[in-house]
Amino acid sequence: MAEGAFTCHDCGRQFPIRKLKEHFEPSGEKIDLCPEDLDERMNKEQYVRGGPGKEKAAASYSKEAPQDAPYGLRAPPPGLRSGSGRR
């Protein structure tokens, strides 16, 4: 079975879907990132929060992303909830 692919929003390269990282902007827009570009954004913003993704169990959120937007359709597992201190 062939694995799907996605194009990273920041670098424009294609990656296997298993490497997909979701990040939500202040506008609430979801962008797909590769792991390296997500790390770069997180380091630049110096603060991101976690929450449920649309396609993945967990996603990162910009500090300014609306708290009440309906991002993911499922709640993350209890150990992945923001502020739990577990990874």
Render pLDDT for 14-55 as a digit per residue (tens, 0 to 9). 999 999 999 988 888 899 999 999 999 888 887 778 887 888
User: What's the pLDDT score for residue 14?
Assistant: 97
- Which helix or strand (DSSP H or E) is residue 30 part of? strand 30-33
User: What's the pLDDT score for residue 5?
Assistant: 95
Mean local confidence (pLDDT), 51-64: 82
d(CA 52, CA 58): 5
Structural domain span for residue 42:
5-80
Q: Would the pTM count as exceeding 0.85?
A: no
Say what percent of the chain tops pLDDT 70: 75
Residue 19 lies in a domain: yes
Residue 86 lies in a domain: no
Task: Give the count of domains, the chain.
Answer: 1
Residue 40 lies in a domain: yes
- Alpha carbon separation from 60 to 1, 2, 3, 67 (Å, rounded): 29, 27, 23, 12
d(CA 70, CA 73): 7
